[in-house]
């Protein structure tokens, strides 16, 4: 393979080389964390673990986990491992539930993150001569600055458009000749629709690729964005606790996101038992920031559920690939012993061409878990005859059965009957644990 | 000869029918005929009204799922065998009936049957050929 890498010696390194790099970095960061973060000293001491016990990456499972609540409990800067004169940047998560989580970066950390984002841009086919149109928000949120620094690191040209004023965004794309668009997938859809509304043929735009992340999206959305904007759409993953966008990103094969595992070491664990799981098994994604200084998080529980795949990719990268997160541990339901994620129901509805306005009602009837999937009626779905509405219900029930491996009763609801708060609908009502 | 019937998706919740008919009444729309098809979970309320457009707008404003369906209206003499005769005509011409409902007008001394069939145009044709009265939209709306 040739050319299409930012740091080929690392992105295509053999497993032995990766193992060596990861081991060296882990040993160093464990000392850093133990000696500078009181929480880690306490956690290590509690289980009688010495930093010296960690000799290679193979020892990682000896280390304790870190949870989002640890960051909240030590808000804002309690888990930083460096004095503030070494910090150069602060970001924070949106804090939609509870307190914000604040993260800090040293100059070295910013460089690591920028390299990870630069690798991502190259992985989707970006080069130094590209205009990278960044429509993620700039601010405490990591999206905008992450891709911006990545583009500059690569030597491409960053256009810091940020979000909003969509017609102007399209105008800039036309006038400047933006090559790569970076934003959330929902905003990409909106830009795509605006392009059409403005009567512009997307084929006349130079835009050829998009890097989309920061919110869950589906394969159907990918196809729709690709159609609307006449580009190839790529999935990027990241979280501020680990760095930001670029922790992992798809390559042109669109077959999983390559994790920059020489910087951020991933594991998949069983969220209940904490045991490591093998490639292909769904479990919680856990990261250790082996290359970072300011916030050296150890085995950070992302709560995202996905799989890992260590096979070498057709693109030539050896970096492990993670699948698209299928949901979050917080959302996971166990129904008759089967793991069910609301996001699976959502993708079934989207595949059937229906609006994903649904609610799951779980109950226990005669000691048996029952799931009812309630779907809001739309004008497209409505028909004047009982027969065709019942066949719609059956169609949804059959598709759910084959995806979830569990029978669900489908009930059609009137539009807007699922309660929404601040635009977000409550997706799950679990009645099982009410005595 | 086609009449616009309003079909409304209704969840089986108490009070829904009252809300729907109130929404129609608020805009001064008069209901000519009504029928409901129901299952254990939901129903489809079907209405023939004097001003279908206004009714649809009012219902959509209330966030309801509404569609307009073309149906036909037969007028038959209110005596034994007349209805059967009409249905025989449809059967002999292999026209399927999806659903139907009827109302009687004392004023006209006639029974009116609203029919949803799989081929409205041909149904109108063969019914007329056999001397059965088919009402126009204006006749039904202005009744």
Count other Cβ atoms within 10 Å, centred on residue A387.
12
**Closest Cα to residue A240, out of A86, A113, A122?**
A113
| Mean pLDDT confidence for A14-36 | 97
The answer to whether residues B80 and B55 belong to one domain is no
A314 has pLDDT over 90? yes
Q: Over the stretch A229-285, which tens digit does the pLDDT of each residue have?
A: 999 999 999 999 999 999 999 999 999 999 999 999 999 999 989 999 999 999 999
pLDDT at A99: 73
Q: Which residues contact A206 (CB under 8 A, 6 or more apart)?
A: A131, A173, A177, A178, A179
B40 lies in the same domain as B92: no
- B79 and B34 in a single domain? The answer is no
Domains A88-328 and A333-430 share a fold: no
pLDDT in tens, B7-42: 999 988 889 899 999 999 999 999 999 999 988 889
pLDDT for the residue A164: 86
Residue A3 — pLDDT band, cuts 50, 70, 90? low
Give backbone dihedrals phi and psi of A394, rounded to 5 degrees, phi first: -65, -40
pLDDT tens sequence across B60-71: 998 899 999 999
Domain finish residue from B18, B42, B68: B68
Percent of all residues in chain A with a pLDDT value above 70, rounded to a whole number = 96
Shared domain check, B113 and B79: yes
Q: Is the pTM of this model over 0.80?
A: no
Tell how many helices (H) and how many strands (E) occur in chain A: 11, 23
Taking CB atoms and an 8 Å limit, are B64 and A384 in contact across chains? no
Residue A160: count of CB within 10 angstroms of its CB:
15
- What pLDDT score was predicted for residue A435? 45
Tokens read off for A314: 């057709």
Tell me the CATH number for domain A88-328: 3.40.50.12780
- Which chain A residue's Cα is nearest to B39? A386
B95 and B54 share a domain? no
8 Å CB contact between A297 and A289: yes
- Which value does ipTM take for this structure? 0.82
- Least confident segment among A199-203, A227-231, A403-407: A403-407
Chain A residues lying within 8 Å of B14, measured CB to CB: none
Classify residue A41 by burial, with Cβ atoms within 10 Å: 0-12, 13-18, 19+: middle
CATH of the domain at B30: 3.30.2130.10
Chain segment B106-120, per-residue pLDDT in tens: 777 788 999 999 999
Confirm or reject contact between A388 and chain B (CB < 8 A): no
Helix (H) / strand (E) element for A116: namely helix A107-123
Q: Which CATH number fits domain A333-430: 3.30.300.30, 3.40.50.12280, 3.40.640.10, 1.10.3720.10?
A: 3.30.300.30
What are the residue ranges spanned by the domains of chain A?
A: 88-328, 333-430
Query: What is residue A434's predicted lDDT score, i.e. its pLDDT?
Result: 56
B79 plus B91 within the same structural domain: yes
**Residue A427 pLDDT exceeds 90:** no
Q: Does A377 touch chain B (CB under 8 A)?
A: yes
Find the CB nearest B44 among A384, A413, A415. A384
| Last residue of one domain, picked from the residues B22, B48, B68 | B68
Which of A379, A383, A380, A402 is CA-nearest to residue A391? A383
One domain for residues B58 and B43? yes
Residues 6+ apart with CB under 8 A from A5: A11, A12, A119, A122, A123, A316, A317
Question: Which residue in this structure is represented by tokens 């057709």?
Answer: A314
B98/A379 Cβ within 8 A: no
Beta strands (DSSP E) in B1-143 are 3-11, 31-38, 42-49, 66-77, 97-105, 110-117, 133-134
Tokens describing residue A349: 């509805």
Q: Specify the pLDDT at position B38.
A: 87
Q: At A421, is the pLDDT very low, low, confident or very high (cuts 50, 70, 90)?
A: low
Contact A224, A353 (CB under 8 A): no
Q: What is the pLDDT of residues B45-103, one digit of tens each?
A: 999 999 999 999 999 998 899 999 999 999 998 889 999 999 999 999 999 999 999 98
> Which of B39, B65, B69 lies nearest to residue A386, judging by beta carbons?
B39
**pLDDT tens digits, one per residue of A56-115:** 999 999 999 999 999 999 999 999 999 999 999 999 986 555 678 999 999 999 999 999
**What tokens does A67 get?**
């949870």
- From the list B38, B41, B65, which residue is nearest A379 (CB)? B65
Contacts of A385 in chain B (CB under 8 A): 37, 44, 98-99, 116
What's the average model confidence in pLDDT over A377-402?
Answer: 92
Number of folded domains in chain B?
Answer: 2
Contact yes or no for A382 and B9 at CB 8 A:
yes
pLDDT tens-digit series, residues A146-161:
999 999 999 999 999 9
pLDDT of amino acid B98: 92
Mean pLDDT taken over chain A: 92
Residue with token string 């049957």: B113
Rounded to whole angstroms, the Cα distance separating A104 from A242 reads 10
Q: Is residue A187 classed exposed, middle or buried when 0-12, 13-18 and 19+ CB atoms within 10 A define those classes?
A: buried
Treating both helix axes as pointing N-terminal to C-terminal, what angle do A107-123 and A142-154 enclose, rounded to 10 degrees?
80
Give the SS3 label for residue B68: strand
Domain boundary among B35, B68, B101: B68
Mutation pick from B4, B9, B13, B40 vs chain A, by most beta carbons of A within 10 Å, is: B9
Q: Cα–chain-centroid distance for residue A156? A: 24
Which pair of structure tokens corresponds to residue A224? Answer: 């729709």
pLDDT of residue A1: 43
Both B33 and B89 in one domain: the answer is: no
Domain that holds residue B64: 3-68
Are residues A70 and A103 in contact, defined by beta-carbon separation less than 8 angstroms? Answer: no
Q: What's the average model confidence in pLDDT over A305-310?
A: 96
The verdict on B89 and B57 lying in the same domain is: no
């Amino acid at each position: 393979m040739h050319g299409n890498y930012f740091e080929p010696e690392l992105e295509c390194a053999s497993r032995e080389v990766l193992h060596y790099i990861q081991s060296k970095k882990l040993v160093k960061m464990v000392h850093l964390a133990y000696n500078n973060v009181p929480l880690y000293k306490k956690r290590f001491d509690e289980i009688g673990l010495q930093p010296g016990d960690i000799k290679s990456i193979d020892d990682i499972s000896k280390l304790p986990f870190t949870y989002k609540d640890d960051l909240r409990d030590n808000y804002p800067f309690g888990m930083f491992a460096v004095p503030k004169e070494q910090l150069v940047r602060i970001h924070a998560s949106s804090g939609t539930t509870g307190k914000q989580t604040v993260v800090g970066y040293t100059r070295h950390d910013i460089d690591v993150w920028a390299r990870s984002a630069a690798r991502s841009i190259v992985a989707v086919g970006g080069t130094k001569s590209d205009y990278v149109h960044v429509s993620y928000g700039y601010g405490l949120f990591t999206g905008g600055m992450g891709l911006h620094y990545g583009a500059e690191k690569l030597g491409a040209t960053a256009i810091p458009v940020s979000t909003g004023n969509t017609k102007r965004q399209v105008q800039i794309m036309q006038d400047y000749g933006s090559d790569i668009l970076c934003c959330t997938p929902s905003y990409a859809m909106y830009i795509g629709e605006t392009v059409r509304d403005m009567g512009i043929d997307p084929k006349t735009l130079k835009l050829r690729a998009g890097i989309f992340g920061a919110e869950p999206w589906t394969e159907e959305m990918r196809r729709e964005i690709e159609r609307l904007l006449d580009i190839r759409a790529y999935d990027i993953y990241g979280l501020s606790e680990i760095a930001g966008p670029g922790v992992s990103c798809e390559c042109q094969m669109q077959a999983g996101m390559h994790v920059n595992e020489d910087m951020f070491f991933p594991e998949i664990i069983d969220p209940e038992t904490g045991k490591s799981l093998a490639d292909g098994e769904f479990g919680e994604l856990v990261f250790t920031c082996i290359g970072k200084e300011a916030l050296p998080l150890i085995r950070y529980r992302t709560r995202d559920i996905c799989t890992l795949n260590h096979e070498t990719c057709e693109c030539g990268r050896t970096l492990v690939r993670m699948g698209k997160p299928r949901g979050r541990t917080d959302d996971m339901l166990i129904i008759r012993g089967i793991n069910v994620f609301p996001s699976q129901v959502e993708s079934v509805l989207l595949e059937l061409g229906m609006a994903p306005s649904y609610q799951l009602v779980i109950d226990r009837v005669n000691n048996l878990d029952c799931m009812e999937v309630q779907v809001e009626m739309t004008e497209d779905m409505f028909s004047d005859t009982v027969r065709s509405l019942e066949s719609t219900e059956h169609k949804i029930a059959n598709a759910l059965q084959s995806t979830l491996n569990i029978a669900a009763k489908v009930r059609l609801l009137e539009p807007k009957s699922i309660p929404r708060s601040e635009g977000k609908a409550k997706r799950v009502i679990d009645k099982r644990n009410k005595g | 000869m086609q009449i616009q019937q309003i079909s409304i998706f209704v969840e089986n919740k108490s009070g829904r029918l009252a809300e729907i008919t109130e929404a129609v009444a608020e805009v001064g729309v008069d209901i000519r005929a009504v029928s409901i098809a129901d299952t254990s979970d939901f129903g489809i309320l079907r209405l023939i009204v004097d001003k279908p457009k206004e009714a649809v707008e009012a219902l959509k404003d209330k966030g309801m799922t509404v569609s307009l369906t073309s149906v036909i209206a037969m007028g038959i003499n209110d005596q034994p065998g007349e209805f059967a005769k009409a249905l025989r005509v449809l059967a002999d011409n292999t026209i399927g009936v999806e659903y139907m409902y009827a109302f009687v007008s004392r004023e006209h001394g006639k029974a009116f049957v609203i029919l949803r069939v799989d081929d409205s145009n041909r149904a109108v044709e063969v019914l007329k050929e056999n001397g059965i009265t088919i009402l126009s939209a204006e006749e039904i709306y202005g009744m």
